[in-house]
Amino acid sequence: MSSEDQPSTIISMTWKSVNQTSNLARRMPHWVPPWVAGLLRWLLKWGMVALVLWVAVGLFYFYLSLKYDLTEVSKIPERSVILDRHGEEFATIHGERRKLITRSEVPDVMVLALRAREDLKFPDHTGIDIKGLVRATLRNIRDMSYTQGASTLTMQLTRNSYELRAKSVHRKLLEMAITLRIEGRYTKDEILTHYLNRIYFGAGCHGVEEAAQTYFGQSVAELNTGECALLVGIIRGPHLFSPFRNREGAMQQRDEVLTRMVQCGFLSEQGEESARAEPIRLVSPDDRHRGSSYVKESIRRQLQVILDGRDIRDGGLTIHTTLDAGLQRRCDKVMGAPIPGLEKAGDAGRGKVQGVVVSMDAQTGGILSLGGGRKFSESPYNRAYLARRDLGPAFVPFLDAMALERGKVCISGHPVQTGRQLGVDETIRLSRRLGFTGPFADSEDLYRGTLAASPVELAVATAALAADGNKSEPYLISRITDAAGRVFYDRRPTRSQVMMKESAREALAATDWRDDGSWIATTHSRHDAWALVVKESRVMVIWMGHDQPRVMGSRPVIKRAMQDVINRIQP
C-alpha cells in the first residue's frame, strides 16, 4: 500500500467503528420489510436514549433520598403540645399511651390481616410492587388524576415517616427512592414493626399499641382475631371508621378484612365465622379519657373536627389556644374543692352540687377558662356546652338591653312590664341575635327568665354586652403548627354587631354590680344560681345546681357560696 493511500484507509476504518451499530442494523435478512428494519433502528436508538435518561433520573432521586435520615422510621411520632395564650405549655394531647413494640408482641394473625388488606406480596418484593405500580399508572392515566397509589407497606412507612403527601410524579419518585433505601437497610420484620409503631389509627393514636390500649384497654398481644382485623381495617379511614365514632363502619371494615384473609388462604371459612362471633371489647365511654379534663376534651373535640378535613396524621403538632393557663388552674382547683355552705367535705358522686365556670375574652370570643363540672373523672358530662338551665333573674340585663335597643323603657325590678313593651316574638328574635338558642316560652313567663340556656351561651351574650354590642363566636384553638413549624390552621375572631353600643352600655350600667365586677342571680325555685362577672375586657359566667334539679339552700347561703367561689377564682 502506498503512503498516499493511508489517510483514506484510516478515515474509512474510523467511520466503520462509529457506525458499527447502524451497519449491523442494516444487515438484516432480505425478507425483512424495510419498514420493520426502520422500526427496529428507531427502537434501538430511542431505547438507548430512554435507558440513559432512566439511569440519570434514578441517580438524581437516589441523591435526593440521601438527605433523609433512615433512623426516623424507627421513632415514635412526637406528642402534640397544647400552649396557652401566653405560650406556656398547658398539656399534651395524643400520645399519652404511646409505646414502641417489638415484632414478637404482634399477633401473627394481625400480620396476616395486614398483608391481606394492604400488601399481599410484602415478603417477596423489594419495596415496590412493579405490577401493581404499572396497573395503577395506567388507571391514573385513564382517569386523568391520581386515583390509584399502589403503595406497599414500605412505601406507606416512607410516606408516614417523612410527610411525603403531595400527589405528584416528583413525590412518587422520591418516595420510591427512599423506599428502596429502607428495604436495603432493614429486614422485613423490622419494616413491619416500624410500620405498626408509626401508622395512624384515629382518635389521636399513632402505633398499634396505643390504638389497642385506647380502643380496647389492653396490649396488642392480647387482642383477638376480630379486634386485630378491625384495627387493620380502619387504617384506610382512621377518622371515618373510628369505632368510637362509627362502630358500624368499623365492624364493616373488620368483616372486609376477614373475607380478604379467607380469599388469600390465611384463614379458613370456619375461622372467619369464629372471628366474626368474637366480642369487640371496646373501652366504655366513661373510661376513654381517664386523667383528662373538661377543657382538654373540648380541645380534643375541636381538634378532631379540624383534622377531619385534612390528611394530618403525624404527631408533633403545636396547638395554640386562647386559654389562660393560670386562670384555668385556679378554676379547676376551686371547683374541685368543697363549696362551703352547700356541701360537706364528704359529699361526692353525681348527686353533689355541680358547678360550671366559663371565662371569655369579650373582644375576640377566645375562651380563657372552661370547666364543665366539678370533677371530670366523676362525671365527664360537659355541662358548659350541654346543660340547659333556666336563667331566671340572670335574663334581666339582656331583657333591658333589648328594650333599650327598641327605644323602650327599662322598668327596674319589673321584668314583665319591661318585656310587655317588646312582646314575646320580638324578645325571642332579639334573644337569638345575642346567641340564645332556646327553647323559648311562648308566654310572658319568658320575661321572668324561663329561657333555658347553656353556660357558654350566657357567656357569649354577656361578652356581647361587654363589647359594646359586638357578639363574637367562642373558640378554643387559635392556631396549629406542624412539627416543621408550618402553620396549617389559623383561626381569626369573628364578630358581628348585634346591638347598638348605647343599648349595651346602658343595660350594663343599670345592673347592680359589686365592686369586683360580679352580679349574682338565683332562680325563684333555688334550683339554679348564676353569677356574671364583667372585668375590663373579660367576662366570666358561673353556674351552680344539681343535675337533677332540687333546692340547694336558702338564698343567703347560695349567695355566700357563689361569692366565695368568685373570690377564690379572681386573681
pLDDT band at 317 (very low <50, low <70, confident <90, very high): confident
Flag whether pLDDT at 25 surpasses 60: no
Residue count of the chain: 571
Q: What is the pLDDT of residue 531?
A: 97
Closest CA to 204 of 95, 319, 283, 83: 95
pLDDT band at 310 (very low <50, low <70, confident <90, very high): low
Q: What is the pLDDT of residue 3?
A: 46
Flag whether pLDDT at 503 surpasses 60: yes
Flag whether pLDDT at 42 surpasses 80: no
Whether residue 515 sits in one domain with residue 401: yes
Q: Please, are residues 318 and 480 in contact by the beta-carbon 8 Å criterion?
A: yes
pLDDT band at 21 (very low <50, low <70, confident <90, very high): very low
Flag whether pLDDT at 336 surpasses 70: yes
| b/e sequence 352-384, b meaning 16+ C-beta within 10 Å | bbbbbbbbbbbbbbbbbbbbbbbbbeebbbbbb
Q: What is the pLDDT of residue 140?
A: 56
Whether residue 359 sits in one domain with residue 281: no
- Between 560 and 37, the more confident residue is 560
CA distance 297 to 91: 11
Q: Please, are residues 504 and 401 in contact by the beta-carbon 8 Å criterion?
A: yes
Average pLDDT over residues 101-130: 92
Domain finish residue from 272, 288, 304: 288
The tens digit of pLDDT for each residue in 382-411 reads 999 999 999 999 999 999 999 999 999 989
- The 3-state DSSP class for residue 80 equals strand
pLDDT band at 554 (very low <50, low <70, confident <90, very high): very high
Q: Is residue 201 part of a domain?
A: yes
Whether residue 519 sits in one domain with residue 457: yes
CA distance 169 to 57: 12
Q: What is the pLDDT of residue 415?
A: 94
CA distance 529 to 520: 7
Candidate from 34-38, 119-123, 308-312, 443-447 with smallest mean pLDDT? 308-312
Candidate from 41-55, 164-178, 343-357, 358-372 with smallest mean pLDDT? 343-357
The answer, yes or no, to whether the previous bond of 439 is cis (omega within 30 of 0) is yes
Flag whether pLDDT at 315 surpasses 60: yes
Whether residue 510 sits in one domain with residue 437: yes
Q: What is the pLDDT of residue 157?
A: 92
Q: Is residue 43 part of a domain?
A: no
Domain finish residue from 288, 311, 344: 288
Q: Is residue 268 part of a domain?
A: yes
Q: What is the pLDDT of residue 340?
A: 83
Q: What is the pLDDT of residue 383?
A: 97
Q: Is residue 73 part of a domain?
A: no
Whether residue 108 sits in one domain with residue 248: yes
Q: What is the pLDDT of residue 341?
A: 84
The tens digit of pLDDT for each residue in 179-232 reads 999 999 999 999 999 999 988 898 878 899 999 999 999 999 999 999 999 999
Q: Is residue 89 part of a domain?
A: no
- Between 67 and 21, the more confident residue is 67
Domain finish residue from 233, 264, 288: 288
What CATH number has the domain bearing residue 464? 3.40.710.10
The tens digit of pLDDT for each residue in 234-250 reads 999 988 899 998 999 99
* Containing structural domain, residue 247: 98-288
What CATH number has the domain bearing residue 198? 1.10.3810.10
Q: Is residue 63 part of a domain?
A: no
Considering the entire predicted model, what is its pTM? Answer: 0.74
User: Which amino acid appears at position 461 of this protein?
Assistant: A
Structurally, the chain folds into a number of domains equal to 2
Helix ranges (DSSP H) in 202-264 = 208-216, 225-233, 247-263
Q: Is residue 525 part of a domain?
A: yes
For the record, the C-alpha cell of 75 comes out as: 421513632
Average pLDDT of the chain is 86
Whether residue 483 sits in one domain with residue 433: yes
Q: What is the pLDDT of residue 215?
A: 94
CA neighbours closer than 13 Å in the CB half-sphere of residue 496: 9
Whether residue 399 sits in one domain with residue 270: no
Flag whether pLDDT at 8 surpasses 60: no
Flag whether pLDDT at 4 surpasses 50: no
